[in-house]
Amino acid sequence: MREQTEESMDAETLAERLGEMARELSGAHDLDELLQLIVDLGEAYLEGCDGVSLMLIGKNRQISSPAYSSKVAYDSDQAQYETDEGPCLDALRQHETIVIDDLETETRWPDYRARALELGVRSMISFRLFAHKDTMGALDFYAATPQAYDRTSRLLGQVFASHASVALKAAITTAGLEATIHTRDVIGQAKGIIMSHHHLTADAAFELLRKISQQMNRPLREVADDIATTGEIPDA
């Protein structure tokens, strides 16, 4: 019997992980759940990752981040929107994968770079999300350490982004996407406010938002819209 080499074992492990990711993505019940599942799985599967965000292109080519796994990922995306520059926007606009080993030595995107370093971002990968040549958005992986992503991480991220693209394409219609992006954007803003105020993780902030919604007997989107508009968080 042929003795397995370390390389072949690594390949088998990688294949198992990719298969597991595909199965988990296919288990999402709706588009809203799928968006959050993509970023949560992305952070869990890439070692050294400190946050994942999902940028989507909506109506009139407007770009927003309807799902993210950490406050750093959300804040970094917002910095790109506000400066109108950054690797994730370039991944969308130039239809390519952008890899940054260390922002400290990066010379591109000077305005965004300064903001990102303040947030503690040091390395990143941004993958274009597309199906049949149609760009839907970008999947962005952030890390607090330089050179966080090796060749295996990049391969895993690329294949994961491909699976995410297929799942998104299968789950959305134009109307459904627009409605979901709007709702998720409002929820994302409310989560960001709760995370900053209570120093919570993204998951914990969402659970608190859900709890407030249940106690007030109001739809989650309405509660999130109030928080995003006023900046005030009801007692839970």
How far is the first Cα of the chain from the last one, in angstroms, to the nearest whole number? 62
Q: Per residue in 155-179, pLDDT tens?
A: 888 989 998 988 888 777 644 656 6
Q: Which CATH code of 3.40.50.970, 3.90.209.20, 1.10.10.10, 1.20.120.530 fits the domain covering 182-230? A: 1.10.10.10
CA distance 92 to 135: 7
What single DSSP character describes residue 27? T
Q: Helix 174-198 crosses helix 202-216 at what angle (to 10 degrees)? A: 100
Q: Per residue in 94-117, pLDDT tens?
A: 888 999 999 999 999 999 999 999
Each domain of the chain, given as residue ranges in start order, spans 12-171, 182-230
- Residue 145: pLDDT band (50, 70, 90) is very high
Of 140, 144, 142, 136, residue with least CA distance to 31: 136
Tell the CATH superfamily of the 12-171 domain: GAF domain (3.30.450.40)
Rg of the chain in Å (alpha carbons): 18
Q: Per residue in 213-225, pLDDT tens?
A: 888 888 788 888 8
Q: Per residue in 112-135, pLDDT tens?
A: 999 999 999 999 999 999 876 678
Report the predicted TM-score, pTM, of the whole model to 2 decimal places: 0.72
Region 26-52: what's the mean pLDDT? 85
Percent of the chain whose pLDDT exceeds 70: 89
The pLDDT value recorded for residue 2 is 36
